[in-house]
Amino acid sequence: MAQLRDLPVAVIGAGPIGLAAGANLAERGIEFHIYEAGASVGTNLLDWAHVKIFTTWEQSIDPVSVRFLEKSGWKMSNLSTLPTGGEIVERYLKPLAEVPELKPFIKTDARVTAISRAGIDKVSSKDRAAKPFRLRIADSSGNVYYEHARAVIDASGTWTNANPLGGSGLTVPGETENAAHIVYGMPDILGKLKERYAGRRSAVVGSGYSAINVLLDLARLPGNAKQITWVVRGTDLARIYGGGEADQLAARGALGMHLRQLVDQGEVNLVRGFSTEKVSSSGDGLVLHGETADGLVSVGPVDQIIAATGQRPDLHMTRELRLELDPSLESVKALGPMIDPNLHSCGTVPPHGYLELSHPEPNFFTVGVKSYGRAPTFCYLPVMSKPALSLPRSRVTLRQRSRFILCFRKLAFARQTPWQMKFAVENQRR
């Protein structure tokens, strides 16, 4: 087998963060391979291609990737506008995947199904750091092969691993049986799925910005007035609607305010403090049953349920690795206190670098939205160009502060695109 130092770095996933990792490795002259499960780069974004995001182009692109793109004649205009998921793929990720520095090293239809270290399992410690990573990869025809790497950057996201309807985090009785009428995530309500939702009764479960977007889309369809029910576990209206005019991202704040108007006008029926326990189907549609402060309550009947209940990381792939995760968020452990959704939203998360993205497993890093685990607070923008020294003392411990400052000094500025990885990989090379 090749020497560890002669092997490439494996990047898992060709979303915005996996491609940024590739670009930053390329700029440093470090060999890499990007493995993408889907048929195209940005596969997960294509699933929500219709959604306008709430950060601008300028806040959502990686400077190193832009340098490569510009060398190939690419130009981005209107940097202050808000792109959709589809526009990010078509105007940024696909051109990026074509630049000569990246193109030969991206493999699509290559799903990484397991990662271990060559010749040893999770229990063995002897010479662990000197053993190459061994990746099991499958294509869509079922062919399986193995490749080796000296470091692994997991940028595989969480999008396809939706949380179930159950308020307790479990699939509820009736959820699987009625799957034909339940959609998870952000269906294309105003486009491809218009027929399915226009003039029908819908219940949306969940309280994040995905839920808010879904509700606003439903309300825009003809015949949907007073047909929409919004079911949330929480009771605090300020948290449910988000930051409003005080939101750090104006576009995001505006969404919450608009929805509040619809609820106040009775267009959307808001059911608060409802923890889903069961879905049943009556002759007239689906009924959600949930525990509330007043006991068991039923909501419905409705024709469709949309579960905008967030995502969680798929941890099967890394079963043979020594990971350290935050016990509640399943994020990288060090990030846990920095991204706690009880305290933070995208835009208030403090700067962090490769140290926070690492694990006890040497040279394995979790990056991008997966590094945040179940926390919905990930965005590209958060920590860009924000000096660590300006962190509010109340939010972080002194130990955390000194780690941020260390990262900040080392990297000039910290941002959660994973180019910080190059330092770790280079250190290992020495």
Ligand X SMILES: Cc1cc2nc3c(=O)[nH]c(=O)nc-3n(C[C@H](O)[C@H](O)[C@H](O)COP(=O)(O)OP(=O)(O)OC[C@H]3O[C@@H](n4cnc5c(N)ncnc54)[C@H](O)[C@@H]3O)c2cc1C
Interacting residue ranges for ligand X, rule: CB under 6 A: 12-18, 35-38, 42-45, 48, 51, 53-55, 60, 111-112, 155-157, 159, 186, 210, 317, 368-369, 378-381
Write the burial class of residue 428 (CB in 10 Å: 0-12 exposed, 13-18 middle, 19+ buried).
middle
Q: How far is the CB of 88 from ligand X (least distance, A)?
A: 8
Q: Give CA separation, 353 vs 3, 67, 85, 214, 411, in Å.
A: 28, 21, 26, 33, 8
Q: How far is the CB of 272 from ligand X (least distance, A)?
A: 23
Query: Where do we find the tokens 């059911």?
Result: 271
Extract the tokens encoding 106. Answer: 């991206």
Closer by beta carbon to ligand X, 59 or else 227: 59
Closer by beta carbon to ligand X, 85 or else 164: 85
Nearest CA among 91, 25, 100, 19 for reference residue 62 = 19
Cα distance between residue 107 and residue 252, in whole Å: 35
Q: How far is the CB of 41 from ligand X (least distance, A)?
A: 7
DSSP state of 325: B
Q: How far is the CB of 130 from ligand X (least distance, A)?
A: 25
Q: How far is the CB of 9 from ligand X (least distance, A)?
A: 15
Amino acid at 272: R
Closer by beta carbon to ligand X, 9 or else 45: 45
Q: How far is the CB of 69 from ligand X (least distance, A)?
A: 17
Q: How far is the CB of 155 from ligand X (least distance, A)?
A: 5
Cα distance between residue 336 and residue 327, in whole Å: 8
First to last CA, the chain: 20
Cα distance between residue 329 and residue 339, in whole Å: 9
Closer by beta carbon to ligand X, 116 or else 227: 116
Per DSSP, the three-state class of 301 is strand
Closer by beta carbon to ligand X, 54 or else 404: 54
Strands 144-149 and 133-138, sheet pairing: antiparallel
Closer by beta carbon to ligand X, 227 or else 417: 417
DSSP state of 197: H
Nearest CA among 205, 197, 204 for reference residue 223 = 197
Closer by beta carbon to ligand X, 37 or else 240: 37
